[in-house]
Chains A and B, each alone.
Chain A
Amino acid sequence: MTPTAMETNNNIDRQLDMLDHPEQYSEQEIMDAVNRDEATREFYHRLTQVARARRNQRSLSLPVDTDKAWAQFEQTHLSPQHRERVLLRVAATVLGVLMMSGIAWATVYTVRHITAADSSKPKTEKVVTTSTSDAVVATDGITVTDTVVVQDVAPVVFDNTPLEQMLGEMAAYYGMTVEFQNEEARTLRFHFVWNKGDGLEKVLDNMSHFERVTIEQTGNRLIVQ
């Protein structure tokens, strides 16, 4: 049933009243007041536009101190101390990559060595990848091809991506399953840079900055609350 003009005004006034005391209402009550009907939804949308327009106007009167901002940026991101920290981080990453490469090289070398020592036996092919740590298992008589599939360590940028999709990809990578206890969280969208080189624990730690969801690891399950 379409609300009367008076009902619509009352619903909008309730929305405005809530704006003065949002702490007195639950999030559900706020959502209900905004989405009560088309009129309340549209009113809130217009109100947000006006708020944004006024911030836009106010911004024009605020000082823009580019010199100060650049000095702050320089101090925070380009100072020798910061460069030192970045260099240490890069060094640690390079060391990590070198160790990974070392394992892969050792794997290929070991298997080739065994093969060369006994080349009279039947030959089959196997691809050694750096992502499986037990690839060193070298059965007698196996010839290793030169193909070494290097693990993809490039960061994955999730840009405005639903949490369900994001966690699905990560869970598959780390061999986990995902359980949504908070159904609403499935469609929440986030921007997140996933560095595959990071362990799951570190990734979850980075994701803990998402204020609206909590993700916990229990065994091989990622539980979204």
Chain B
Amino acid sequence: MNDKSILEGLFRQHYGKMIHLARTLLHDDAEAQDVVQDVFARLLENDYQMTGNKTEAYLMSAVRNHCLNLIRNMQIRERFKHLHPLDEADETHSIDEMMAELEQINAIVDAHIEEPHKTILRLRFDEELTFQQIASRLGMSVSTVYKYLRQCITRIKLFI
């Protein structure tokens, strides 16, 4: 990979998908960006020859491996706090399968989760509020928030 323009071409062609995968797997956007930069830095260092249609698969696998390594090296408490898997055995799907499943979950949330469940999901996962904060915001008890979340998970499971 001596030709800078080839590397730049690869970078520009694949960066979007790679950063999307890293952002999906990690909770920190800056860290996700670092992962993609590191993958290309290693490519450069090891002088890999990228040919054929396996390039994208290689780059995406490299991103996933890098992300999983970062998660694996986190303390259990940190992994739990950010809702990362605690068990290696949960990472059995290919990248495409995983992405398809995640898109399916999002479609189920959009189509089959009612209020106030949907708002609770949004506040917890998109705005990253604690359950206590969600309870205060919605004027309900924490145990009611827990109940709604349990119902959400059960409902999502029904459609998968």
Contacts and interface: CB of A to CB of B under 8 A. Distances in A.
B125 A27 contact: no
- Interface residue SS majority, chain A: helix
Given A22-B81, A31-B86, A43-B153, A51 B72 contact: no
Interface residues of B toward A: which range?
A: 35 or more
Contacts of A62: 23, 29
Contacts of A209: 73
Given A19-B81, A70-B11, A54 B75 contact: no
A77 B76 CA distance: 33
Interface of A: 9, 12-13, 16-20, 22-23, 25, 27, 30-31, 34, 43-60, 62, 64, 66, 69-70, 72-73, 76-78, 159-160, 188-191, 209-212
Interface of B: 4, 8, 11-12, 15-16, 19-20, 23-27, 29, 33, 36-37, 40-41, 44, 65-66, 68-69, 72-77, 80-88, 90, 99, 101-103, 105-106, 109, 121, 125-126, 130-132, 142-143, 146-147, 149-150, 152-153, 156-157
Nearest to A46: B153
Contacts of B24: 52, 55-56, 59
Contacts of A23: 77
A211 B85 contact: no
B20 to A, nearest CB: 5
A186 B143 CA distance: 40
A208 B72 CA distance: 14
B106 A69 contact: no
Counting from the closest, the 10 A-B pairs by CB-CB distance are A51-B83, A54-B125, A59-B23, A53-B105, A27-B76, A53-B102, A56-B24, A56-B102, A20-B130, A191-B69
A135 to B, nearest CB: 32
Given A49-B105, A189-B72, A189-B88, A55 B27 contact: yes
A69 B37 contact: yes
A70 B103 CA distance: 28
B153 to A, nearest CB: 5
Contacts of A57: 106, 126
18 contacts: A9-B150, A12-B146, A19-B131, A23-B77, A25-B77, A27-B77, A30-B76, A31-B76, A46-B157, A48-B83, A49-B102, A53-B102, A56-B102, A58-B23, A60-B20, A62-B29, A69-B15, A70-B12
Given A16-B149, A22-B77, A59-B24, A54 B11 contact: no
Interface centre among A22, A49, A73, A209, by most chain B C-beta atoms within 10 angstroms, is A49
Given A13-B143, A50-B153, A64 B15 contact: yes
Nearest to B98: A52
A144 to B, nearest CB: 35
Given A18-B80, A56-B102, A70 B126 contact: no
A73 B37 contact: yes
A54 B84 CA distance: 13
B132 to A, nearest CB: 6
B126 A58 contact: yes
A100 B72 CA distance: 38
Given A34-B86, A60-B20, A69 B131 contact: no
